[in-house]
A and B are shown apart, each in its own frame.
Chain A
Amino acid sequence: MKMRKLYRNIAIVTAVFMLVLSVMMGVSYYQMQQVSPLETGVMETLKELNETNDDNEQLQQQIRELDLLSRKAYFVQEGQLKTGIYLLIGMALILMLCLNLYFKDTKSLPDKQLDPIDEWMMKSHARKYLGWAAAIAAVVGIGFVVSRSIADKLLTAPSDNQDELLADSHQSGENIETDSLQVVADIAADTLSTAQQDVVDTTAVEDEMPELKIASKAFRGNNSSASSSARGIATSWNLKGKKNILWQSPIPKHGYNSPVITGRSIFITGADAQARELYCFDVWTGELKWTVKADGIAGSPSAMPKVNEDTGLAASTVATNGEQVAAIFATGDVICADMDGQRLWAKNIGLPDNHYGYASSLLMLGNTLIIQYQNNSNAQILALSAKDGHQIWSKSSKDKIAWSSPIIATLGGKSALVVMGNPAIAAYNPSNGSELWRVECMSGEVGSSPASAGGVVFGASEYAKCIAIDGATGETLWEASDYLPECSSLAATKDLVFCATSYGMVCAYDAKTGEVKKEHDLTTPFYSSPVVVDGKVYLFSNSGKVYIFSASTFDLITSFDTGEKTFATPAFTDGMMVVRTDKSLYCVKKN
C-alpha cells in the first residue's frame, strides 16, 4: 500500500516535471527555428553600417564580438535541446513504470454479471451512427461541390459552369437515392433547384443575346473591305436621349483605332506612356470583359517613341479571325490573345522609325496575321502565324513610309492581299507573299487605304491621285484627281467609289469611268472612313456628325449630330453598329 503511494507520487512528480520541461523545450525550439545565427536584425544593420561608412575599427570589433556571442548562444541552445530530449525520454520511462506498478492490482477486473446490452442493439446503433456519419460526409462533400461550383460561377463564364452545375445536380441526385436521409434530400433538392434555376436563366440569357452571325473582323469590316452584310441598322439615334442606343461605355485608354467585332466580343486598343492595352467589350452589355497588357516584351523600348498628337500610340486597328485577336502599337509591340483574354504570344518587330507614329492596321486571313510595316527604314510586309507568332513570310521593299492599311480583295476569283504604299499599290499572294502585280502611282504621305469591288482595286491619296486598277491584270483602268482623301479611306460598290476628304468634300466616282457622279460640300473634315451597309453609306465627321447616303445614288438620306468627336470607323454587325468616339464606345440598335 505504502509502495503504491510512493509510485503514485513519483508518477505525479515526473509528469509535472515533464510537462514543464516540454513546454520550455517547445519555446526554445521555436526560438531556434525563428533565428538563424548572424541573421539577427542588429547584426545586419551593423554590417550594413560598416559597409556604408569607411573603416571604423571599433564598429568592426563590436560586430565580431556580437557575432561570437550569438553563435555561442545558438549552439548552447542546441545542446540544451538535445539533453532536454534525452531527459524527457528517461522520465517518460520512469513515469510509465510507476504508472504500471501503481495500477498493477487495479487491473480492469470485470464487474460480474454479463454484459447486459444486447449486441444486436449495439449493431443497430452502430449501423445508425455509421449511416449518419456517411450522410454527414456526403452532405459536406456536396457542400464542397456546390460551394466550388458557385465559386466557379463567380469566376468563369456562365456557359461552362452551367454544365458543372448540371453535373453537380446529378451527383446530388445520386445522393438522394443513396442516403435515405432527409437532410441530404433537402440539400440535394435545393442544389438541384439552384442548378436548374441557373440553367434556366443562363439559357434565357443565351436566347436574347445570341452569338452574332455577322462579324467585322478588321478595320472597316471583314477583310477591311469597307462594306458589311449587316441589315437593319438604325438610321437615327441620340446619345443624350438614349434613343436607339443599346449601351455606351467609357474607354480606359485613348486611341484612334476602330472597333472590331466577332462573336459576342468587341475589340479595341488604347495606350498611353504607361501602358498599351487590348480591350474586349461585350457586344450586348458593353461591359469590359477583359484587358490584355502589352508588357514584358523582349526588345520593346523602355521609353515611348515620339508620336504625333493626332496619331497616338494606338492608331492601328486590331484584327481577329474569330479565335485569336492581334493588336499592334506604335512601339512595334505585337500581342495576340485568344477569345478568353489569355495572351498567347507577344513580340516586338522592331521599333518603327516613324515621324507621326505607326498607324497601319492589322489584317488576318485564317491563321495568317498580315502587318504592313512600312516605316522610314526598311519597309516590309510581314505575315506571322496567329497561333504562335512565328514568321510565315516577309517581304522587304525599297518603298517609302506609309500609314495605309492592307486589304484582302477578290481578284480573278482568288483572294489577294492588296497593299497601298508609297510609291506603289501592289497585290500579293497572301499565302507566300509572292507579288502578283505592282503599280507605281502614289506619292506624298499615303495615309488612306484602298478599296475593292467587282475585281477592281481602287486607291487614292492626297497629293497623288485616285486610281482604279484591274485586279486580274494589274493594268490601270482610270485615274482621277477631283477629290482626294487624306486619312479617310475609299469605299466601293461595283458602280460607285466613295471618297471623303479632310476639307469637307465628299464625292462618288463612277467605278467604270472615274468621273464624279455626285459631290456634297459638307464643310467639316473627315478622318473616319465611309462604310457600305444595307444599301447605305455611313460616314462620320470628326466633329461627330453622321451622314447617311444612298449607296446607289449617293443622295444624302439623313444627317444629324451625335455630339461626340469621332475619328474611328464604326463596325457593323447584324442589327447593330458599334462606334468609337474619342472617349467612349457605344452601340446603336433599333429599339
Chain B
Amino acid sequence: MRKLLFLFTGFVTSLSAMAVARFPKPDFTSGYEYPDIVHGAPNELLWNVLDIVLLIAMMALVVWAAYKKRSRAVIYSVSFVSVAYFGFFRSGCVCSVGSIQNVVMAVVNPDYHLPWYVLLLFLLPILFALLFGRVFCAGVCPLGALQELVNIKHFRLARSVSATLSIIPWVYLAFTILYAATRSQFLICRLDPFIGIFRLGGDIGMISFGIVLLVMSIFIGRPFCQFLCPYGALLSVFSALSWKKLEITDKGCINCALCGKSCPVDAIRAPQYSKTKENRMKGVHRIIFFAILLPVLTLAGALLIGSQSNALSLAHKDVYLYEQLLQQQAHPNMEESLEVETFHALGGDIDELKAKVDDIRRDYRIYACLAGALIGFVIGFKLLKLSLKRSRQTYEISLARCTVCGKCFNYCPQNKSTQHKQPLISYL
C-alpha cells in the first residue's frame, strides 16, 4: 500500500571498507553500470503526527459526548473508528499502554532518546484522566474499544472477587517496570493479546489468548481493562482524583437502580447506609491496624521479590547467555546452543560479559525490590480502603473504575426525558 520504491545513494562507505578490501572491481567491457540497491521507503513520520492529532480529537469528542450530550452513540462510534484506525490500520505499535516502557527506559537510562510522539501517547491520556476521567479507555484505546464492541451482556462478578482481581494490573505494571528499567524485556508488548488480531498474524499463543479474552468479553465487560491492563491501573489513580466528576444525569438521581445494572465494569455504587452496627472504636482499631500493615506489607513485598532478583534477572538476554556459557563449561560435551556458538564465533570475552552481567544483576536487585514494594503497597492500600466505611445517598460512579463507556446514560430514566426517540445504536 505504502510501497513506493525509490533509489538510494549509499552512505555506508565507512562500513563497506571491508567489502572493498576483499573485492577488486571487475571491468565490464560492455560498459555495464551497476544498478543501485532497490528497497522500500521507510514509513513516514507523518503518520505519528496524525496519530497524536486523532488521539486528541477522539478524546475531546468522548469528553463532549460524556459530559455535555450524555450519549453513548457517539462514544460507541468513536470505538469503531479507533479499532479501525489505531487497531487494524496502524496495527497498534506503539500504543499508550506500551509507551509506559519507553518512558521508564527514558527515566532510568540517561542516553535513551524518547520520541516526542511516544511521550505524548503516554501523557495525553493521563492529562485527560486528571481532568475528565478515563476518557481514553472509553473508546480511544483500540484494546478497550475492541472489547467494548463485542460486549453483549455482562454477568457481574461478586464485588469482592473483582476487587481482589483488580490487584493483577498492578502486579503486571510492577513487572513491566522491572523489566523495562533493566532493559531486558518489553513485557507489555510481549503479552499484548490483541496485537496479533490487529495484525492478522503473529504469535499463535498470544492470538488465542486474545480470542479467549474477546469471547469472555461478550459476557463480562472488558476483562482485559478490568483485570489486566497496567495502563488502566495507572489511569485509575488519576481519574479517581479527576477535576470534573462524571455524573449519570444532571437531573438528580431517583434511585431507580437501572444504571447500576447497566455498568459493564461495575463502577456504579448503590446508595449505602451502613447496616451493620459495630462500636466506633472497633472500626478505628481496624483502620489503625491496616494503616500499620501498609508499610509492613510494602517492606515484605520488597524483600520477597528482591530475594528473587537473581532468578528474575535471567529474563535479560546477556544474563541468559552467560548462564548458558557456564552450563557449557560445566558440561563441555553438551550440544552448544545457538547463542553460545555465536558468542564464541564472534570471539566474545566471557570476563567482559561477566562484568556486564554483574551490573545487570545489581540493577535487578534494586528494581526487583522496588517492584515488590509497589505490589506490597498496592495490596496494603486496597485493604486500607476496603476498611473505610462510606455512606452514600444516591447512585454514584466510582471514578477510578469507570471507563467512560456511557452505557448508564441510556438507562437513566432522567435522561430519557431528553431523548425522545432512541436510535438503534443507543441500545448497543
Contacts and interface: CB of A to CB of B under 8 A. Distances in A.
Does chain A touch chain B in the assembled complex, meaning CB atoms less than 8 Å apart?
A: yes
Given A133-B167, A177-B296, A295 B257 contact: no
B108 interface: no
B160 A126 contact: yes
Interface stretch (A165-173, A520-528, A574-582): A165-173
Contact of B164 (A22, A109, A133, A295): A133
Interface stretch (B133-141, B246-254, B300-308): B300-308
Contact of A115 (B152, B153, B260, B332): B260
A96 B150 contact: yes
Contacts of B281: none
- Give the most central of A104, A123, A177: most B CB within 10 Å: A123
B260 A110 contact: yes
Given A126-B160, A141-B304, A178 B297 contact: yes
B277 to A, nearest CB: 10
B164 A129 contact: yes
Given A126-B159, A130-B382, A168-B307, A120 B276 contact: yes
A118 interface: yes
Contact of A178 (B150, B275, B293): B293
Interface in B384-402: 386-387, 389
Interface in B136-167: 149-150, 152-154, 158-161, 163-164, 167
Interface in B296-322: 296-297, 299-300, 303-305, 307-308, 311
B270 interface: yes
B276 A121 contact: yes
Nearest to B304: A141
B154 A107 contact: no
Contacts of A130: 163-164, 167, 379, 382-383, 386
Nearest to A122: B159
B272 to A, nearest CB: 5
B200 A85 contact: yes
Contact of A128 (B153, B160, B299, B300): B160
A138 interface: yes
A293 B332 contact: yes
A585 B61 CA distance: 86
A437 to B, nearest CB: 41
A85 B152 CA distance: 23
A336 to B, nearest CB: 15
Contact of B308 (A30, A127, A145): A145
B274 interface: yes
Contacts of B150: 92, 96
A114 interface: yes
A75 interface: no
Interface string B271-296: 11011100000000000000001001
B382 A178 contact: no
Contacts of B204: 26, 29-30, 33
B154 A108 contact: yes
Contacts of B270: 114-115, 119
A145 B160 contact: no
Contact of A108 (B262, B296, B387): B262
Contacts of B428: 100
Interface residues of A, number: 55
Contact of B427 (A107, A138, A177, A296): A107
A250 interface: no
B332 A174 contact: no
- Give the most central of B150, B164, B167, B329: most A CB within 10 Å: B164
B133 to A, nearest CB: 22
Nearest to A88: B200
- Give the most central of A33, A120, A121: most B CB within 10 Å: A120
Nearest to A89: B200
Nearest to B411: A107
A581 B118 CA distance: 73
A110 B303 CA distance: 47
Contacts of B427: 100, 104, 107
Contacts of A134: 297, 379
B276 A127 contact: no
B300 A119 contact: no
Given A109-B261, A129-B164, A174-B300, A100 B152 contact: yes
A463 interface: no
A142 interface: yes
B258 interface: yes
Contacts of A89: 200
A171 B159 contact: no
A106 B71 CA distance: 20
B303 A171 contact: yes
Interface in A481-535: none
Interface string B397-428: 00000000000000000000000000010011
A109 B261 CA distance: 7
A122 B156 CA distance: 14
A171 B308 CA distance: 12
Contacts of B201: 85
A150 B88 CA distance: 49
A461 interface: no
Given A29-B204, A115-B270, A133-B167, A127 B303 contact: no
A162 interface: no
Interface in A3-45: 22, 26, 29-30, 33
A175 B305 CA distance: 13
A148 B304 CA distance: 13
Contacts of B260: 110, 115
Contacts of A107: 262, 427
B386 A145 contact: no
B269 interface: yes
Contacts of A33: 204
Interface in A104-158: 104, 107-110, 112, 114-115, 118-131, 133-134, 138, 141-142, 144-145, 148
B241 interface: no
Contacts of B300: 138, 171, 174-175, 177-178
A320 to B, nearest CB: 21
A560 interface: no
Given A130-B383, A145-B304, A178-B297, A110 B164 contact: no
Contact of B160 (A92, A114, A122, A167): A122
Interface in B155-181: 158-161, 163-164, 167
24 contacts: A92-B150, A96-B152, A100-B152, A108-B153, A109-B258, A109-B261, A114-B255, A119-B159, A119-B270, A120-B274, A120-B276, A122-B160, A125-B160, A126-B159, A127-B387, A129-B161, A130-B164, A141-B304, A141-B305, A144-B308, A144-B311, A145-B308, A178-B293, A178-B297
Given A104-B427, A120-B272, 13 more contacts: A89-B200, A99-B218, A100-B152, A108-B261, A119-B270, A126-B159, A126-B164, A129-B164, A130-B167, A141-B305, A145-B304, A175-B300, A343-B329
Interface of B: 149-150, 152-154, 158-161, 163-164, 167, 200-201, 204, 211, 218, 255-258, 260-262, 269-272, 274-276, 293, 296-297, 299-300, 303-305, 307-308, 311, 329, 332, 379, 382-383, 386-387, 389, 424, 427-428
Complex A-B, nearest 5 residue pairs according to Cβ-Cβ distance, in ascending order: A126-B160, A125-B160, A126-B163, A110-B261, A178-B300
